[in-house]
Amino acid sequence: MLYLTRRETFNAGHRLFKQEWTDEKNLQVYGKCSNPHGHGHNYILTVTVKGKINPETGFVVNLKTLSNIIKEYIIEKIDHMNMNTQVDFMKGKIASTENLAIAAWEVLDPHIRLLGIELHCVKIVETENNYVEYYGN
């Protein structure tokens, strides 16, 4: 078993808040992240897949293929977008890094299975000081 990781980057806007809460409650829970005018981040998404080496190619999977899947299903939908209002896989969810990691897993998993390999980890780096990892359950 080998673990292969691909890094992609995107920028997005978001606001952390719950619609059913008052602004005061949102501020108390989410701090500056609840700013109603929105802010954003340079996110780093790393996707780790796991599989056997294909002895024909020496690859677990062609990196180009993996990169294209990440770009088509995640990056193109979220890059320079507002996570709260414009990204289908974040609809109705609090725009936290945790929810984003799970959503990215759910989007990517079926496409990666089709390659005959397994999705192992989705990691979202929000700032140089924090990140979330999700292993699928």
Give me the phi and psi of 48, to 5 degrees please: -110, 125
Q: How many residues bind its own copies (CB under 8 A)?
A: 63
65 lies in the binding site for its own copies (CB under 8 A): no
131 lies in the binding site for its own copies (CB under 8 A): yes
Distance CA 92, CA 37 (A): 18
Judged by CB under 8 A, the residue of 19, 64, 88, 114 near its own copies is: 64
Number of H helices, E strands in the chain: 4, 5
Distance CA 119, CA 110 (A): 9
Which tokens go with 44? Answer: 């780093």
| Residue list 3-22, contact with its own copies (CB under 8 A) | 3-9, 11-14, 16, 18
* CB 40, CB 12: distance < 8 Å: yes
Proportion of the chain in helix, strand, coil states, percent, rounded to 5? 35, 35, 30
25 lies in the binding site for its own copies (CB under 8 A): no
* Residue 126 is among the residues annotated as catalytic for this protein: yes
Each residue 109-128 as x (binds its own copies by CB under 8 A) or -, in order, gives ------------------xx
Binding site for its own copies (CB under 8 A): 1-9, 11-14, 16, 18, 29-33, 35, 37-42, 48, 53, 56-60, 62-64, 67, 79-82, 85-86, 93-99, 101-102, 127-135, 137
